[in-house]
Amino acid sequence: MATEESASVMDDYEMLISTTDVELLKRAWRNEKAAPEILQFESSLVQRIKEQIELAEQNEEIFEANNIEPLTVSLYQMDLDRTQFLLRSYLRVRLQKIEKYLFYVLKTDEYLNRLSKQEQMFARRCTDDLGSHLDETVLAKLPDNYRSILKQSITSEEDDMVPAPRLDTFVICKANQYLSGLDFEPDYSMEITEMERDLLTFVCYKFVKKPLENGKIDLV
Amino acid sequence: MAGQSDSTMSLFSSEEIEFMAEDEMTEIVPNLRMDSLNFICGDYGPFLPQLAAQVPLWLALALKKRGKCTIRLPQWMSVENLTRVLEAERDSHAFQPLPFHYIEISRLLFDHAREDIPDMYMVRSLIEDIRDVRFHKVETNLEKVYCIYGDGTFHPEYRQWAMLLAKTPLSTCWTYQMFGKTMSAMEVNVIRAFAGRALQAFYKHDNEQQTPDTDRALDKQPQIPTDRPKRNLKPR
């Protein structure tokens, strides 16, 4: 007779082997949408999804050549559309975040390393364009002390005109396993000590950053 | 203030939530013969007439629209179950167990599979009632958050949805398990922006009172040194 615990281990195992890349991408997309900062780019997952999309597109041509029933073809098309939507939306959310925190991302190595090669290129081009645009339209016409893009004036000690992601944003999350104090950042051991599995919790993003990066919780 | 964060970017639109709901598994009874479908999102079928099969809701609806199947009403959408849920929902503060996407699933079925739902009007009005009762609860819960933080008093009856609030000082309770396991996607989404920003503001003020300086460093917020007059520039 199986105990409840071993049943739940089985569930986890079954879930693990039956989890498709689409499911993983959906999770990455949800987390990316809900998190205030940019997360690590899922390069191998995106690569796999792209290959599967290409394969599906090739199949479609084969279907047409072989006179497969239009109904079947249209169902495959819907599946393809859904996957493409998910991928596009995932990439787009990331671009939006990069644009929003452009200067901050570029000057913070930790963030810069989370971007894909293409995203890094995008960020650099964007900065150049935005920089020269601001120079031409406004900054060049200001007194010398106020010409920096990053600072309010030359007397500012830090870059105080660079918007940073707000890590104290509250997010809604769900742990996919029981989390003890060890799963959280020691800095926040006063604020958060444990999290029950599957319980929807409203929580400050920085408290759950670590378990999120370890894949132990999902943002909802 | 809390106004700096852009709440719209992290929000899911109702179309996006519907998109997620369409991946929920549904039972259909096909009336055609069709080979297995090897989709990117998984393999389904083969389909044989009159033989029930499990497929994602979007596939069920696509087949339904073309008249190729009937959709079996999920167990939780039966009149008996919904009546029971509605009663329990009215009697207790807790949220009754319903699928995470119950609003979207039922809406999609009402729109596209009405002839597969016996007692359609009954089911529909039950779900609308349940939804209203639950949204009302969400609203009162939010009012309670305000009450607690407004005057600092704590009432035992609030314990079940915010179990950690019993502790003082306030800084020890920055997780809110106010939804249990049974709050649905739409309900979560409705309160996300408002409640999230309210909590963020409370958190910020609370921390400023206790440890003004260390917290600023943690916040990574650009701060103007305090010995100079503070200019409030509008954040970009």
Rounded to whole angstroms, the Cα distance separating A115 from A100 reads 14
Going by DSSP bridges, is the β-strand pair A170-175/A217-219 parallel, antiparallel, or unpaired?
Answer: antiparallel
**CATH top-level class of B2-211:** mainly alpha
Question: A15 lies in a domain?
Answer: no
The CA-based diameter of chain B, rounded to the nearest angstrom, is 79
Q: Are A133 and A171 in contact (CB under 8 A)?
A: no
Final residue of a domain: which of A164, A194, A211?
Answer: A164
Assess if residue A69 is contained within a domain.
yes
- B51 vs B34: CA distance, rounded Å: 12
Give domain status of residue A90, yes or no. Answer: yes
Number of domains in chain A: 3
A48 and A71: one domain? Answer: yes
From residue A110, give the alpha-carbon distance in Å to each of A104, A195, B58.
Answer: 10, 27, 39
Does the pLDDT of residue A92 top 90, yes or no? yes
B66-78 average pLDDT score = 96
Q: Are residues A26 and A87 in the same domain?
A: yes
Alpha carbon A34 to chain centroid distance? 8
**Residue from A169, A189, A196, A197 whose CB has the most chain B CBs within 10 Å, to mutate:** A169
Identify whether the C-beta of residue B72 lies closer than 8 Å to the C-beta of residue B28.
yes
Joined tokens for residue A94: 């990331």
Query: What does the pLDDT read at residue A160?
Result: 84
Contact A169 B5 (CB under 8 A): yes
B212 to chain A, any CB pair closer than 8 A? The answer is no
pLDDT for the residue B224: 41
Q: Longest C-alpha distance within chain A, in Å?
A: 80
**Are residue A131 and residue A93 in the same domain, yes or no?**
no
Out of B40, B171, B200, name the one closest to residue A80 (CB): B40
For residue A142, pLDDT over 80 is answered with: yes
Domain-embedded: residue A30: yes
In a domain, A11, yes or no: no
Output the pLDDT for position B12.
87
Q: What is the mean pLDDT of chain A?
A: 88
Tens of pLDDT, residues A11-64 = 566 555 568 999 999 999 999 999 999 999 999 999 999 999 999 999 988 998
Interface ipTM: 0.85
| pLDDT for the residue A18 | 66
Q: Which residue has the tokens 């929902």?
A: B89
Domain containing residue A115: 101-164
* Mutant choice from B15, B44, B134, B175 vs A, greatest count of A C-beta within 10 A: B175
Mean pLDDT of A126-144: 92
3-state class (DSSP) for residue A113: coil
Q: Would residue A3 count as lying in a domain?
A: no
The answer to whether residue A137 is domain-embedded is: yes
- Domain spans of chain B, in order of start: 2-211
pLDDT at res. B30: 97
Q: Which residues contact B185 (CB under 8 A, 6 or more apart)?
A: A220, B17, B20, B21, B100, B101, B103, B104
Q: Which chain B residues contact residue A107 at CB under 8 A?
A: none
pLDDT of B158 strictly over 60: no
CB distance B175–A157 less than 8 Å? no
CB-nearest to A191 from B12, B20, B174 is B174
* Local confidence band at A161 (pLDDT 50, 70, 90 cut-offs): confident
Tell me whether residues A191 and B172 touch, CB distance under 8 A.
yes
Q: Residues 66 to 125 of A: which have CB under 8 A from any B CB?
A: 69, 71-72, 74-76, 78-80, 82-83, 85, 89, 93, 96-97, 100
Question: How many pairs of residues across A and B have Cβ atoms under 8 Å apart?
Answer: 150
Q: Are the C-beta atoms of A170 and A203 separated by less than 8 Å? A: yes
For residue A130, tell me if it sits in a domain: yes
Scan residues 17-76 of A and list those with Cβ closer than 8 Å to B.
20-23, 26, 30, 33-36, 49, 52-53, 56, 69, 71-72, 74-76
For residue A180, the model assigns a pLDDT of 86
Q: Is residue A63 classed exposed, middle or buried when 0-12, 13-18 and 19+ CB atoms within 10 A define those classes?
A: middle
Asked if B222's CB is within 8 angstroms of A172's CB, the reply is no
Pairwise CA distance, residues B150 & B172, whole Å: 17
Q: What is the mean pLDDT of the segment spanning A164-181?
A: 87
Look at residue B147 and tell me whether its pLDDT is greater than 60: no
Average pLDDT over residues A70-96: 95
Q: Examine the domain organization and report whether A35 and A93 are in the same domain.
A: yes
**Shortest CA distance from B176: residue in chain A:** A202
State percent of chain A over pLDDT 90: 57
Domain shared by A91 and A131, yes or no: no
The predicted structure's pLDDT at residue B163: 35
| Cα B205 to Cα B1: distance, rounded to the nearest angstrom | 9
Chain A contact set for B68 (CB, 8 A): 71
Q: Which of B16, B174, B183 sits opposite A200 (nearest CB)?
A: B183
Query: Which of A60-69, B56-65, B86-95: highest mean pLDDT?
Result: B56-65
Chain A residues with beta carbon closer than 8 angstroms to that of B9: 33, 93, 96-97, 100
The pTM of this model reads 0.81
Least confident of A73-82, A194-203, B166-175: B166-175
Residue B208 pLDDT grade (very low, low, confident, very high; cuts 50, 70, 90): low
Distance CA B108, CA B58 (A): 9
Res B46: pLDDT: 95
Q: Among A96, A107, A151, A172, which would you mutate to test the B interface (most chain B Cβ atoms within 10 Å of its Cβ)?
A: A172
More confident position, B172 or A14: A14
Look at residues A98, A124, A153 and tell me which one is the last residue of a structural domain: A98
